[in-house]
């Protein structure tokens, strides 16, 4: 085939036991999730899946969903229960997540037009930021977000 046999052997092989040991020794990056939108459930599952088997892909860290916010505190708590996030990390404001000293990074899947304020504020709090694409509504907004980070 086009890619050769070695390519498919690498991507389809199961992690070995020593891979799991290596993964457990990786540094942890604790994420604050800025929404309970449906995409967040997929992100949490992807984080957990990759954190369980990334050693074979030379991962540099383990991603851990650690806090969740929603405009509705009850929605945040429900999400936290369902996805095993500590209930004290289920909050009703993204600012609460940004003020949490043990949150290293935030995932921001909110509508593009609302994103700049949160990204810039997260950067001022020293958080790493991942956001959906498009990252900004305008080139000027994007440049401002990049400058903040």
| 75 catalytic residue (yes or no) | no
Count of CA atoms in the C-beta half-sphere (13 A) of 123: 14
Report angle CA 12, 133, 103 to the nearest 5 degrees: 80
Which residue in the list 42, 75, 127, 133 is annotated as catalytic? Answer: 133
Listed residue (122, 113, 66, 124) closest to 94, CA to CA? 122
| C-beta pairs of 88-93 under 8 Å, 24+ apart in sequence | 89/32, 91/67, 93/69
Give the strands of the sheet with 105-108, arranged side by side.
Answer: 90-91, 62-69, 28-33, 105-108, 128-131
Positions annotated as catalytic residues are 133
């Amino acid at each position: 085939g086009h890619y050769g046999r070695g390519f498919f052997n690498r991507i389809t092989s199961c992690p070995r036991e020593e891979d799991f040991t290596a993964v457990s020794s990786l540094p942890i990056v604790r994420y604050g999730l800025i929404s309970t939108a449906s995409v967040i459930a997929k992100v949490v599952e992807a984080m957990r899946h990759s954190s369980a088997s990334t050693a074979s892909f030379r991962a540099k860290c383990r991603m851990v969903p650690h806090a969740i916010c929603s405009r509705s505190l009850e929605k945040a708590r429900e999400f936290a229960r369902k996805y095993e996030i500590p209930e004290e990390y289920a909050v009703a404001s993204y600012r609460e997540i940004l003020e949490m000293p043990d949150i290293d990074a935030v995932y921001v899947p909110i509508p593009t037009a609302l994103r700049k304020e949160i990204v810039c504020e997260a950067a001022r709090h020293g958080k790493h930021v991942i956001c959906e694409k498009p990252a900004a509504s305008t080139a000027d907004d994007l440049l401002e977000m990049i400058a903040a980070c």
